[in-house]
Amino acid sequence: MDKSESTARRRWGWLGLLPGLRPAPAPTPHTGPWKLLPLIDHDDCTGCGRCIEACDQDCSKDCIELIWSFATLVRPQGCTGSGACAEACPRGGINMHWLAVNTDGSLRDPVG
C-alpha cells in the first residue's frame, strides 16, 4: 500500500480505496435566523381544530390548517411563536422548537 492509499484509508476508511467514491460533505451549520415554531406530531393529532382556533385568535394569519385531517404548519412566516396552539392541543401533540428559517421566514431545508 503506497502513501496515498494509506492516507485515503485513514481519512475515509475502506471507502477511500474505492475510486471516485467519497462520503458527502457535512452540511454547513445554519448561521441565519432561528424562529420558535410548533412541531406537530401527527400520531397524536385527532384533527379537532383547537390549535387552529388558538392560532387564529393569537396571530390571525392562519399559520396552521387541517390537511388530510391533520393539523399542519403551512405558513411559518406568520407564526408569532406564542405557543397558543401547543397549549390548546388536548393530547399534547404540539411542541414548540427553535427551527432554522430562511430570511423570508420560510423553513430552511435541514439538508442544505
The owner of cell 404548519 is 73
Asked if residue 73 lies in contact with residue 63, where contact means CB atoms within 8 angstroms, the answer is yes
Asked if residue 75 lies in contact with residue 61, where contact means CB atoms within 8 angstroms, the answer is yes
- Mean pLDDT lowest for which of 4-18, 26-40, 76-90? 4-18
Asked if residue 47 lies in contact with residue 70, where contact means CB atoms within 8 angstroms, the answer is yes
Number of domains in the chain: 1
Identify the bridge partners of residue 37 per DSSP, sorted by sequence position: 97
**pLDDT by residue (tens digit) across 21-69?**
555 555 556 566 888 888 889 898 999 989 988 887 766 678 888 888 8
Name the CA radius of gyration of the chain, rounded: 21
Task: Return the SS3 of 36.
Answer: strand
CATH of the domain at 40: 3.30.70.20
Entry field: residues in the chain = 112
Q: Does the residue 50 lie in any domain?
A: yes
Q: Does the residue 110 lie in any domain?
A: no
